[in-house]
Amino acid sequence: MPLRVPAAEDERFMREALRLGEKAALVDSTGGPFGCVIVKGGKIIAAGSNQVVKRKDPTWHGEMEAIRAAAKARQTFDLSGCTLYTTSEPCPMCAGAIFWARIDRVVYASTIADALRYGQFDDQPIYEDLAKPIAERLTPAVQCLREEMLELWRRYEAKADRIRY
């Protein structure tokens, strides 16, 4: 069941995400105007901002930083019961991380189209590429040593004490 949150609370947490995005883009110049906070039980448990330029790391998006911080703070990879507030609709990478973290709800300020229009951040080719069969994607992918990997998978499947996630 989706979390029910008053609009005033959404606005309060989004303003913090916006503050972080503004600081990243216009004050510190660490990357684009992407800020994020993760909230549980009405309290911010983690925050992040775009650090791609500063860290020279294409994965250092605000959502990724916040998810890592929340998981570390809570000592779990399962962020069920949390809401993620972000200044822009999540890119495919961040959407994947949100899914795997089991975050219950996402609140965003601007759209992917806005990010393209105002910042030239173009996610559309990623979505189009992911919709293609793997052999037709822009980045060539070649399968290698599948049987050896399947043996590893079988051993992992049989591991009695594996932690499921």
pLDDT digits (tens, 9 = 90+) for 114-140: 999 999 999 999 999 999 999 899 999
What pLDDT is recorded for position 164? 84
3-state secondary structure of 54: helix
Mean pLDDT of the chain: 95
Residues 83-100 have pLDDT tens digits of 999 999 999 999 999 999
Note the pTM of the prediction, 2 decimals.
Answer: 0.91
- Please give the share of the chain, as a percent, with pLDDT higher than 70: 98
Helix, strand, coil % over all residues of the chain, rounded to 5: 50, 15, 35
Active-site residue (options: 9, 11, 16, 63): 63
Active site residue 63: yes
- Angle, helices 62-74 vs 92-101, to 10°: value is 20
